[in-house]
Chains A and B, each alone.
Chain A
Amino acid sequence: MRVHVNGDSTEVTGGTTLADLITQLDLPAPRIAIELNREVVRRSDWGSTMLKDEDRIEIVHFVGGGKN
């Protein structure tokens, strides 16, 4: 099935959880936050959140910034 991560389409197998996705993408889990279809998913729920076809996922981190 296909999901959209930070605007890019990617194929994942059925039964993939958000936690699996983060592991597959090799992201620094302690410093990121995830939104699934515009709702924040708490870290404690990543492991139990199954991805569905056409899900839209935003994964963010922090960067240097003052304003703009």
Chain B
Amino acid sequence: MIIAGRQFSSRLIIGTGKYRSYEEMRSAHEASGAQMVTVAVRRVPLDRSSESFLDYLSPALQILPNTAGCYTADDAVRTARLAREALQTDLVKLEVIGDQTTLFPDNEQTLEAARILVKEGFVVLPYFNDDLIMARKLLDAGCAAIMPLAAPIGSGLGVQNPANLRIMREQLPDATMIVDAGVGTASDAAIAMELGADGVLMNTAIAEATDPAKMATAMKLAIEAGRLAYVAGRMPKRLYASASSPLTGVIR
């Protein structure tokens, strides 16, 4: 998977939220084989000395700061700038949320923020609705990848609109497309990959599994399997049977 000229051998990007413990997170990260993890930017609590969460992440991991929790382009841009200053990375996962119940993205604010951040030299990875026209606008704005949702964040519903992802893949063959949000289990990730995604980003599906490390392994394998199936090119679907054995020479 290539993002802004950088090669990642793993097609899985995972979050760092919702784990029951840092140890559980670390073992899930290891099992997943992911090379990139997302982190959120928040105010430092001033009333207690807080140890740095980043110390619990393997130094080998590429950290991808996100703008989770932002509801305006302005807040997202400020958050991205702070993250860049602290982490010295130009990567940012852009999220501008439009609604608290669905956590659906505000595409208009997302595009506005993307344009500003690209101009400032960020490598922008935007979360957005699975919409081809919006994907085109984000790519035209200079985003390094497109990250359409599969389903609402944290819902675990899996890919709700496979046609949209397929259309996006067919119409934007050169874009790096990472399905972001809504995956619930391994088959969901495999389906996203079979539709032509270059990668999948997930958090809750692993963190809320009964055994996150096992689910992380399952996701890793599903993404590899789904990718192989996509590259292999699946057989056409038929309504009726088609025998695999020769029809001639059957004993009578």
| Alpha-carbon distance between A8 and B145 when the two chains are bound, in angstroms | 38
Are B83 and A66 within 8 A (Cβ)? Answer: no
| Alpha-carbon distance between A68 and B127 when the two chains are bound, in angstroms | 11
Q: Is A1 among interface residues, defined by CB-CB distance under 8 A?
A: no
Residue from the list B43, B54, B127, B204 in contact with A31, Cβ < 8 A:
B54
Are A68 and B153 within 8 A (Cβ)? Answer: yes
Q: Is B39 among interface residues, defined by CB-CB distance under 8 A?
A: yes
In the assembled complex, how far is the CB of residue A5 from the closest CB belonging to chain B, in whole angstroms?
6
| Alpha-carbon distance between A65 and B91 when the two chains are bound, in angstroms | 16
| Residues of chain B lying within 8 A (CB to CB) of residue A64 | 15-19, 25, 39-40, 53
Task: Given A65-B15, A66-B16, verify A42-B85 contact (CB < 8 Å).
Answer: yes
Are B43 and A68 within 8 A (Cβ)? Answer: no
Looking at chain B, what size class is its interface with the partner chain?
35 or more
| Residues of chain B lying within 8 A (CB to CB) of residue A66 | 14-18, 38, 66, 68, 153, 201-204, 207
Residue from the list A32, A38, A43 in contact with B44, Cβ < 8 A:
A32
Interface of B, secondary structure class, is mixed
| Alpha-carbon distance between A28 and B54 when the two chains are bound, in angstroms | 11
| Residues of chain A lying within 8 A (CB to CB) of residue B83 | 33, 62
| Alpha-carbon distance between A42 and B83 when the two chains are bound, in angstroms | 12
Q: Is B156 among interface residues, defined by CB-CB distance under 8 A?
A: no
Chain A positions 18-64 with a Cβ under 8 Å from a chain B Cβ = 25-28, 30-35, 38, 40, 42-43, 58-64
Residue from the list B14, B39, B49, B180 in contact with A62, Cβ < 8 A:
B39
| Residues of chain A lying within 8 A (CB to CB) of residue B19 | 64
Q: Is B81 among interface residues, defined by CB-CB distance under 8 A?
A: yes
In the assembled complex, how far is the CB of residue A18 from the closest CB belonging to chain B, in whole angstroms?
13
| Alpha-carbon distance between A34 and B19 when the two chains are bound, in angstroms | 27
Residue from the list A6, A7, A59, A68 in contact with B103, Cβ < 8 A:
A68
| Alpha-carbon distance between A13 and B179 when the two chains are bound, in angstroms | 51
| Alpha-carbon distance between A64 and B212 when the two chains are bound, in angstroms | 15
| Alpha-carbon distance between A43 and B69 when the two chains are bound, in angstroms | 25
In the assembled complex, how far is the CB of residue A16 from the closest CB belonging to chain B, in whole angstroms?
15
| Alpha-carbon distance between A43 and B79 when the two chains are bound, in angstroms | 16
Are A65 and B46 within 8 A (Cβ)? Answer: no
In the assembled complex, how far is the CB of residue B123 from the closest CB belonging to chain A, in whole angstroms?
18
Are A33 and B86 within 8 A (Cβ)? Answer: yes
Are A8 and B54 within 8 A (Cβ)? Answer: no
Are A31 and B40 within 8 A (Cβ)? Answer: no
Listed by A's residue number, 25 A-B pairs whose Cβ atoms lie within 8 Å are A28-B52, A30-B52, A31-B52, A31-B54, A33-B83, A35-B81, A38-B78, A58-B43, A59-B44, A60-B41, A61-B41, A61-B42, A62-B87, A63-B17, A63-B53, A64-B25, A65-B15, A66-B38, A66-B203, A66-B204, A67-B68, A67-B103, A67-B153, A68-B97, A68-B153
Given contacts A61-B86, A62-B54, 13 further A-B contacts (CB under 8 A): A28-B50, A33-B82, A35-B82, A60-B41, A62-B40, A63-B42, A64-B16, A64-B18, A64-B39, A66-B68, A67-B103, A67-B153, A67-B203
